[in-house]
């Protein structure tokens, strides 16, 4: 027991050190006002989706990232000679992350039930129970997958295959698209029902006996998941061997061939060679290869799913999504595609920093500024190409191509290097990088929604935020006196200022390392 308490205290300090606790507080501070802004009669339904889709899975990525980071730093090997057992360490991490998730859920539930505070005491047990069950199931799955992955890219590639059924099946169930008892075979389904039982009890059709049986079933799965995750962490996975650098042999040859001269410190030949190696590596990295086709896949899913979803929402909740197509386009395509490429570029840069590649570049023909310029240019170009393909394929561009759409595309592509450089500037390792992604991801989703919801000229108060410019440039948004060309000029200036800030901070951090 003393070891478990000490491990829990250590996990709490780790959460504070790497920013997990602050980002949890920030998300709570974001979602609670959002629920307060939603009409009281709809707040419970919105809260049910938010608690299940966002809050319950808050710690899943962090749990796996911490595990992989500890393996890279040698912490996992050091723990094998301490009295702390692998199962106790896993239990402590699960307990801390679950408790943090529940602390986020309480203010959100209070905001959703603001007109029914007398019901809050009755709603807390089922909602917190559902959030805790769902959280534990997602945490244990991600820990087990992370323990078998060699690196963060491998985890991000494998995790969706196991997590997707745990999220999509309950989502289909609670939305009413499909009702069948076999859906309860997925243990997170009862977690979603328990959340809905407290936030929107009128929408729940399951009997008390079914809920009780489902809760026992999900609890058994959670317990089995804890055991499986503990065993997976204890066994672990051998880290992938590092690539050996070429060294000159006695015959003047490198380890893998003759040493080729590199000319021009930071000049075109050196950075071109680095780009060739980096892009050749992309062909060997399934995650990056998958990301190249992700914009088209995303657009096709939206093209075929949005009309059906719009009809379902209109029939079930009386809310017509058609007049709000511009904000859907902005949040799900225009700003989401650059976010995908920006995150991948940022993770590659942070991995290079973890492996001391950036320190080596300080004494190589490829300077650190040239490296950062390459990374930002690459994600910008990929975002431009991805948006050019995804926007028309999504089926949400009712007006077709026009000058405002072109301006929005250019300004949206500039968000990718901002995300990449924000990760290199604010994150010293993979865990902190995911913390940055979690915060900025919510920021990128909510900015176009706020720009749409706020009437002009109040929405112009968002102009200091770079993502507001591409959203306001889209047809359908009310940008007040701003036309597309003023949006283009202003958006470039704001993005350039933010990019310069992040680049300077990145260089200072690397030089101080």
Provide mean pLDDT across the span 139-154.
87
Length in residues, the chain: 513
Express each pLDDT in 496-507 by its tens digit.
999 999 999 988
Express each pLDDT in 449-495 by its tens digit.
999 988 888 888 999 999 999 999 999 898 888 888 999 999 999 99
77 backbone dihedrals φ, ψ, rounded to 5°: -65, -40
Provide mean pLDDT across the span 295-307.
90
What is Dmax (Cα atoms) for the chain?
Answer: 83
* Helices 86-112/2-17 angle, 10° precision: 60
Does residue 414 sit in helix, strand or coil? coil
Residue with tokens 């913390």: 435
| Distance of alpha carbon 218 from alpha carbon 196, whole angstroms | 16
pLDDT band at residue 287 under the 50/70/90 scheme? low
Express each pLDDT in 324-351 by its tens digit.
899 999 999 999 999 999 998 888 888 8
Is 0.95 topped by the overall pTM?
Answer: no
Q: Taking phi first (over 0 means left), then psi (-120 to 50 degrees means alpha), and beta for anything else, what does residue 236 get?
A: left
pLDDT of residue 281: 60
Q: Which two tokens stand for residue 296?
A: 């088209």
The answer to whether the peptide bond before residue 506 is cis (omega within 30 degrees of 0) is no
Express each pLDDT in 188-218 by its tens digit.
999 999 999 988 887 777 788 888 999 999 9
Mean of the per-residue pLDDT values of the chain: 84
| Distance of alpha carbon 225 from alpha carbon 328, whole angstroms | 36
pLDDT band at residue 110 under the 50/70/90 scheme? very high
pLDDT band at residue 409 under the 50/70/90 scheme? very high
| Distance of alpha carbon 13 from alpha carbon 147, whole angstroms | 22
């Amino acid at each position: 027991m003393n070891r478990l308490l000490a491990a829990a205290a250590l996990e709490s300090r780790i959460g504070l050190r790497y920013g997990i606790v602050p980002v949890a507080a920030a998300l709570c501070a974001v979602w609670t006002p959002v629920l307060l802004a939603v009409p009281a009669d709809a707040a419970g339904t919105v809260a049910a989706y938010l608690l299940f889709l966002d809050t319950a899975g808050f710690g899943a990525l962090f749990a796996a990232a911490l595990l992989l980071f500890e393996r890279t730093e040698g912490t996992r090997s050091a723990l094998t000679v301490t009295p702390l057992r692998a199962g106790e360490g896993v239990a402590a991490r699960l307990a801390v992350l679950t408790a943090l998730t529940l602390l986020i859920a309480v203010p959100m539930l209070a905001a959703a039930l603001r007109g029914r505070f007398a019901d809050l005491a009755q709603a807390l047990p089922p909602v917190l129970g559902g959030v805790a069950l769902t959280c534990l199931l997602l945490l244990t799955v991600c820990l087990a997958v992370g323990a078998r992955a060699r690196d963060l890219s491998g985890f991000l590639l494998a995790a969706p295959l196991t997590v997707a059924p745990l999220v999509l099946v309950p989502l289909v169930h609670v939305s009413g698209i499909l009702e069948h008892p076999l859906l309860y075979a997925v243990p997170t389904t009862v977690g979603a029902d328990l959340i809905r039982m407290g936030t929107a009890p009128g929408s729940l059709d399951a009997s008390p006996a079914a809920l009780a049986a489902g809760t026992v079933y999900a609890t058994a799965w959670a317990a089995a998941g804890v055991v499986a995750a503990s065993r997976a962490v204890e066994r672990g996975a051998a880290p992938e061997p590092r690539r050996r650098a070429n060294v000159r042999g006695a015959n003047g040859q490198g380890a893998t061939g003759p040493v080729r001269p590199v000319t021009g410190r930071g000049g075109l030949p050196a950075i071109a060679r680095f780009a060739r190696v980096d892009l050749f590596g992309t062909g060997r990295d399934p995650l990056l290869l998958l990301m190249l086709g992700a914009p088209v896949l995303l657009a096709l899913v939206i093209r075929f799913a949005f009309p059906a979803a719009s009809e379902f929402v209109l029939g079930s909740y009386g809310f017509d999504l058609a007049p709000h197509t511009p904000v859907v386009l902005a949040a799900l395509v225009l700003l989401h595609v650059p976010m995908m490429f920006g995150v991948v570029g940022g993770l590659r840069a942070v991995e290079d920093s973890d492996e001391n590649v950036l320190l080596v570049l300080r004494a190589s023909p490829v300077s650190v500024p040239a490296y950062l310029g390459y990374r930002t240019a690459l994600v910008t170009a990929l975002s431009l190409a991805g948006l050019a393909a995804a926007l028309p394929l999504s089926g949400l561009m009712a007006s077709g191509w026009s000058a405002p759409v072109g301006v929005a595309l250019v300004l949206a592509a500039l968000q990718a290097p901002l995300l990449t450089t924000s990760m290199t500037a604010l994150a010293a390792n993979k865990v902190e990088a995911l913390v940055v992604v979690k915060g900025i991801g919510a920021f990128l989703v909510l900015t176009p929604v706020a720009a749409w919801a706020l009437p002009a000229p109040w929405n112009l108060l968002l102009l200091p935020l770079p993502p507001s410019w591409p959203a306001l440039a889209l047809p359908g948004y009310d940008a007040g006196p701003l036309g597309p060309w003023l949006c283009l000029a202003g958006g470039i200036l704001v993005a350039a200022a933010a990019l310069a800030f992040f680049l300077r901070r990145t260089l200072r951090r690397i030089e101080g390392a």
